[in-house]
């Protein structure tokens, strides 16, 4: 196969022919027969409407061809000549499949134009993957139309060509990365579950044997031995809590969020029901205002509110009835702000960012239990929903956690985001 030479197309080479074929003064738009010989004649012979149309076609950014019923090229715009590095003299009047030593003799293209187009009259988004001499492998997106100006007039073919090689390569890379990320997430989730099981099993034995030891041997233990037993049981309990919280964080990080319309008011009421024992033990009061319905993963919203309300109960002031308020405000744009406010012990505002980091603690573990992961989970959930979370607090007055979340996700269905 002979490669088409690399040629720069001058402006005169890539202009649509403006002159009727020799001996004809008929409007090609009426007959469907466009002139096939570039004569560079006087534009005055061309009707104004056609002149304007050809100017418009010549400004299209994608390659464009006009074919007669025998697939002979009657017109081509500048972009076609530049893209495929050919001249108008070797293009106009040539059958498409014979152009450039047959570089357009592509089986799928023949099938499209000869077999499919006559039946459907228009074809959209037809991919052709082909190696073109001079420009290499390209993926071309084709759109074709059969155009007729009357029952007795021959039909012409408009063929638009778009180079989508980079787009298809990018799509393929993104799909590969998505698949790899999904495999990584699945493997990570499996590893976390396995590690959790393997770590929990010896802990269960330590706790079980410790409880038996406390029941059977505690009466004979002296004070120092009983203290060691209590410390052992306490450490094992903290380790179990830490493993559970790490597993929860891992699931939030790797799990695919499934967005659906979620009533946050209903979710909040369910969380309060789940925490009713803790609320009763603390003598707390939880007030739930009007909360919106948003696109969200309901399980993650439940975890988010449970962590925030649970923290508000835990970090309460001694001698003060804990009051926890949940309220919402529709911010500017498609975002809502959910606020969880308490009257607890509070913290210095300088630590407002530190509280969201893994394993960070502002208070003594002996006084306030926990693994230091809960608020990190809250931030992860907010970010997976395209939102954010922030805290404001004053020591001795309480804290307010504000979660900003999109009300709608334009591209959600049932899959959500993979993080």
Q: How would DSSP label each residue in 135-169?
A: TEEEEEEEEEEEE-SSTTSPPEEEEEEEE-HHHHH
Q: Which of 398, 242, 384 is nearest to 311 (CA)?
A: 398
> How many whole angstroms separate alpha carbon 144 and alpha carbon 2?
28
Predicted local distance difference test score (pLDDT) of residue 332: 57
Task: State the average pLDDT over residues 193-211.
Answer: 74
Instruction: Give, as one character, the DSSP assignment of residue 354.
Output: G
pLDDT tens, 265-277? 999 999 998 888 8
CATH 3.30.565.10 in the chain, residues? 256-419
What are the angstrom distances between the C-alpha of 345 and each of 77, 222, 326, 352, 362? 74, 38, 18, 14, 11
C-beta of residue 279 within 8 angstroms of C-beta of residue 272: yes
Instruction: Give, as one character, the DSSP assignment of residue 94.
Output: S
More confident residue, 213 or 11: 213
C-beta of residue 99 within 8 angstroms of C-beta of residue 43: no
Query: In the predicted model, is pLDDT for residue 17 greater than 50?
Result: no
More confident residue, 34 or 87: 87
C-beta of residue 326 within 8 angstroms of C-beta of residue 338: yes
Predicted local distance difference test score (pLDDT) of residue 124: 82
Q: Which helix (H) or strand (E) holds 52?
A: helix 48-57
CATH class given for the domain over 256-419:
alpha beta
In this prediction, residue 362 has a pLDDT band, given cuts at 50, 70 and 90, of: low
More confident residue, 414 or 372: 372
The beta strands (E) that lie in 206-334 are given as 260-263, 285-288, 293-296, 323-330
> How many whole angstroms separate alpha carbon 112 and alpha carbon 118?
9
Q: Which of 30, 21, 76 is nearest to 49 (CA)?
A: 30
> How many whole angstroms separate alpha carbon 102 and alpha carbon 316?
81
Instruction: Please provide the average confidence, as pLDDT, over all residues in the chain.
Output: 76
pLDDT tens, 253-269? 656 667 889 999 999 99
**Pairing between strand 335-342 and 323-330?**
antiparallel
Please give the span between the terminal C-alpha atoms of the chain, in angstroms, as a whole number: 49
Decide: residue 76, CB within 10 A, 0-12 exposed, 13-18 middle, 19+ buried. Answer: buried
Query: In the predicted model, is pLDDT for residue 9 greater than 50?
Result: no
C-beta of residue 117 within 8 angstroms of C-beta of residue 144: yes
Decide: residue 241, CB within 10 A, 0-12 exposed, 13-18 middle, 19+ buried. Answer: middle
CATH numeric code, 28-163: 3.30.450.20
In this prediction, residue 147 has a pLDDT band, given cuts at 50, 70 and 90, of: confident
Predicted local distance difference test score (pLDDT) of residue 19: 43
SS3 content of the chain, % helix, strand, coil (to 5): 45, 20, 35
* 385 CB-side CA count, 13 A: 32
Taking each helix axis as running N to C, give the angle between helix 223-254 and helix 298-314, from 0 to 180 degrees, rounded to the nearest 10: 150
pLDDT tens, 73-111? 888 888 888 888 888 888 888 888 888 777 788 888 888
- Which of 289-303, 361-375, 377-391 shows the lowest mean pLDDT across its residues? 361-375
Task: State the average pLDDT over residues 69-76.
Answer: 87
Task: State the average pLDDT over residues 317-329.
Answer: 90
Predicted local distance difference test score (pLDDT) of residue 391: 92
Predicted local distance difference test score (pLDDT) of residue 197: 66
CATH 3.30.450.20 in the chain, residues? 28-163
Predicted local distance difference test score (pLDDT) of residue 30: 39
- In three-state secondary structure terms, 211 is helix
Q: How many CB atoms lie within 10 A of CB 378?
A: 26
pLDDT tens, 205-249? 888 888 888 888 777 888 888 888 888 887 777 777 777 766 766
Task: State the average pLDDT over residues 335-348.
Answer: 90
């Amino acid at each position: 196969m002979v490669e088409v030479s690399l040629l720069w197309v001058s402006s005169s080479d890539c202009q649509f022919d403006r002159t009727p074929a020799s001996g004809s003064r008929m409007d090609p738009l009426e007959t469907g027969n466009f002139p096939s010989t570039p004569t560079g004649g006087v534009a005055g012979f061309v009707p104004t409407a056609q002149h304007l149309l050809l100017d418009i076609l010549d400004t299209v950014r994608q390659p464009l061809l006009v074919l007669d019923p025998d697939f002979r090229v009657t017109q081509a715009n500048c972009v076609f000549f530049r893209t495929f590095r050919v001249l108008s003299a070797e293009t106009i009047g040539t059958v498409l499949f014979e152009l450039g030593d047959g570089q357009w003799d592509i089986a799928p293209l023949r099938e499209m134009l000869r077999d499919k187009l006559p039946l459907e009259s228009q074809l959209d988004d037809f991919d052709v993957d082909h190696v073109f001499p001079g420009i290499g492998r390209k993926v071309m997106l084709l759109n074709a139309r059969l155009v007729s100006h009357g029952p007795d007039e021959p039909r012409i073919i408009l063929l638009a060509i778009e180079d989508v090689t980079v787009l298809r390569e990018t799509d393929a890379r993104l799909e590969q990365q998505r698949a790899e990320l999904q495999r990584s997430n699945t493997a990570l989730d499996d590893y976390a579950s396995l590690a959790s099981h393997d770590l929990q099993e010896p802990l269960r034995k330590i706790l079980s044997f410790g409880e038996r030891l406390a029941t059977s041997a505690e009466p004979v233990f002296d004070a120092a031995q009983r203290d060691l037993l209590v410390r052992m049981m306490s450490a094992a309990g903290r380790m179990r809590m830490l493993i559970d919280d790490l597993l929860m964080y891992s699931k939030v990080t790797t799990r695919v969020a499934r967005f659906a319309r979620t009533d946050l008011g209903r979710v909040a009421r369910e969380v309060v029901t789940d925490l009713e024992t803790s609320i009763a033990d603390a003598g707390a009061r939880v007030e739930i205002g009007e909360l919106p319905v948003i696109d969200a993963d309901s399980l993650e919203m439940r975890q988010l509110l449970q962590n925030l309300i649970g923290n508000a109960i835990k970090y309460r002031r001694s001698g003060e009835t804990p009051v926890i308020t949940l309220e919402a405000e529709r911010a500017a744009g498609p975002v809502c702000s959910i606020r969880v406010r308490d009257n607890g012990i509070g913290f210095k505002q300088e630590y407002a960012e530190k509280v969201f980091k893994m394993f960070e603690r502002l208070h003594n573990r002996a006084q306030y239990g926990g693994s230091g992961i809960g608020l990190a989970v809250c931030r992860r959930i907010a970010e997976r929903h395209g939102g954010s979370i922030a805290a404001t607090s004053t020591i001795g007055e309480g804290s307010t956690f504000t979660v900003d979340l999109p009300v709608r996700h334009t591209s959600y269905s049932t899959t959500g985001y993979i993080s």
